Copies of this chain bind each other. A is one copy, B any other.
Amino acid sequence: MVNIPVDDSVESIEQPVDERPWEILAEKLEAEDHAGAAALLSDLSVEDQRLAMAHLAEGSQVILTSSLPPQEAAEMLEILPEAQAVSILNQLPSEAAADIVEMLPGSIGSDLLREMDEEDSDAVLAELDDPDEAEKLRTRVEYEWDTAGGLMRTRLASFSETATVGDVLADLGENAESYADMDVQYVYVTGEGEKLRGVLRLRDLVLTPRKTPVSKVMISDPVCVKASDNFSSLRTLFDEKNYIGLPVVEEDGSLIGVITRQAVREATSEHQTEDFLHTQGILGGEELRSMPMVARCGRRLAWLGPNIILNLVAASVIAMYEDTLQAVIALAVFLPIVSDMSGCSGNQAVAVSIRELTLGLIRPTEFLRIVWKEGILGIVNGFVLGLLLGTIAAVWKGNIYLGLVVGGALFLNTILSVLLGGMVPLFLKRLKVDPALASGPILTTCTDMCGFFLVLNLASAVLSKLG
């Protein structure tokens, strides 16, 4: 049950940083010395394997993977970023991919299959030797990655309710090796049709006379989750109580897997990563620089294209006030400052809202709370920033009205930006749109438009004093 490798020491992980093992690898692959390249890769530390694979072209990654024995190939795919492993599997012949998938832990295998092109993943599933295993994987692949079905592992120790404590202990002892792999924490008891009946604590097993039926010592009607339960309900459940793992059942109550606290944590972390990438304009999952250039350009343009349209909409406000701008050309210096600064203030409010939504500290309906909490902050920060920028403008051009226009516009636009920035994520959440993805562009477009409008409109109002 506990598995402590001792053949390695902490020191061995330190490597000289100026070595570039991928260059030697690339040379060997170029010379078609696939066996040599595979041997070299196997000798590298995990850190260097990851670095080396990231530096090879995708074609070379595929050749190298297929030159490794399936077990080693599987171990290597496990340490790669998911997007990279998926891309390699997509390009391998389906028999080779199936050999590797057979060596992967079920949860990782299904994560990768789920992200593969559907045609390829079907082909791989068809090639698997063990039809039972293939069926289990197929079931899991069909669930979304962030549901209980997608996050569960399907290997577990379960016994019939007619077994005795002695039977269970004997089986655990005999198959100790294979259970060690599975990191068994609980033993499950099932009835007819694999219906979940109870959960056994290992401690209770050990301390019970061996002839006792398991049904006497098991905890009946245990807490369990449905395979379709979504991520946020799982997170709440694991937050509520100190569960290590929970059984996962299908709609009819049959036991199909186990979901662990760790799997839920990992999903949390994946959600955070996705949020981070989305706020920065990276769509469609990870982008790694080893991916093909066409895909990288296309995915970045998919975000930039709509953005340029939004930018044009915002900037068209300036075109409406060309006369004002021509009369007071100094305003041109302050237009981008007012819009950028408001954008920054708004983004801070976006981040706090996304964070509070994630932590469950605010409900998506609480717009009034945002108005109250961000409104006062916007007045204070808008005043400070407006005073600063207004003073600079007034002193620079020796014109108090220019200072009032610029400072006043930044003051008003800061208030508007923090209100909008605070509310947009709640609004998107209610619409079931990812706040991290869409908040930024919506916010920036609005704050740019309003910023340009406020500066130029206020200037028009006092145009005679600005000359």
- Contact check, A293 vs B361: say whether CB atoms are below 8 A apart: no
- Contact check, A50 vs B351: say whether CB atoms are below 8 A apart: no
Q: Choose one: B5, B280, B352; the contact of A223 (CB below 8 Å).
A: B5
- Contact check, B280 vs A356: say whether CB atoms are below 8 A apart: no
Q: Please, which residue of chain B has its CB at the minimum distance from the CB of A334? A: B315
Q: Please, which residue of chain B has its CB at the minimum distance from the CB of A234? A: B10
Residue interface bits A325-336, CB-to-B below 8 A is 1, else 0: 110011011111
Residue interface bits A230-265, CB-to-B below 8 A is 1, else 0: 000100110111111000000000000000011001
- Contact check, B13 vs A236: say whether CB atoms are below 8 A apart: yes
Size class of the A contact interface (CB-based, 8 Å): 35 or more
Chain B residues with Cβ under 8 A from A86's Cβ? none
A284 within 8 A of B: no
A31 within 8 A of B: no
Q: Please, which residue of chain B has its CB at the minimum distance from the CB of A336? A: B336
- Contact check, B240 vs A45: say whether CB atoms are below 8 A apart: yes
Chain B residues with Cβ under 8 A from A131's Cβ? none
- Contact check, A389 vs B242: say whether CB atoms are below 8 A apart: no
Given known contacts A219-B4, A262-B262, A359-B81, A377 and B293 CB-to-CB distance under 8 angstroms: yes
Cα–Cα, bound, A278→B292 (Å): 30
A162 within 8 A of B: no
A431 within 8 A of B: no
Report how many copies the assembly holds. 2
Interface hits, A320-348 → B, CB 8 Å: 322, 325-326, 329-330, 332-337, 339-341, 344-345, 347-348
A365 within 8 A of B: yes
Q: Please, which residue of chain B has its CB at the minimum distance from the CB of A445? A: B340
Given known contacts A339-B336, A361-B54, A304 and B344 CB-to-CB distance under 8 angstroms: yes
Given known contacts A199-B4, A265-B269, A279-B280, A380 and B297 CB-to-CB distance under 8 angstroms: yes
Residue interface bits A1-32, CB-to-B below 8 A is 1, else 0: 11111101110010001100000000000000
Chain B residues with Cβ under 8 A from A216's Cβ? none
A99 within 8 A of B: no
- Contact check, A297 vs B359: say whether CB atoms are below 8 A apart: no
Interface hits, A65-84 → B, CB 8 Å: 79, 81
- Contact check, B223 vs A10: say whether CB atoms are below 8 A apart: yes
Q: Please, which residue of chain B has its CB at the minimum distance from the CB of A363? A: B17
Q: Which of A13, A176, A273 has the most CB of B within 10 A?
A: A273
Chain B residues with Cβ under 8 A from A17's Cβ? 363, 365
Interface hits, A262-302 → B, CB 8 Å: 262, 265-266, 268-269, 272-273, 275-277, 279-282, 286-290, 293, 296-297, 300-301
A458 within 8 A of B: no
Chain B residues with Cβ under 8 A from A340's Cβ? 307, 311, 444, 448
Cα–Cα, bound, A319→B393 (Å): 12
Q: Choose one: B265, B300, B448; the contact of A336 (CB below 8 Å).
A: B448
- 11 residue pairs bridging A and B, Cβ less than 8 Å apart: A4-B243, A10-B233, A47-B236, A54-B361, A261-B262, A277-B355, A280-B348, A280-B351, A287-B352, A293-B376, A293-B377
Question: With A173-B207, A282-B351 given, can you name 16 additional A-B contacts, CB distance below 8 Å?
Answer: A10-B229, A54-B356, A183-B244, A268-B269, A276-B279, A279-B279, A280-B348, A281-B344, A287-B352, A289-B356, A293-B380, A297-B381, A303-B348, A304-B348, A311-B341, A318-B336
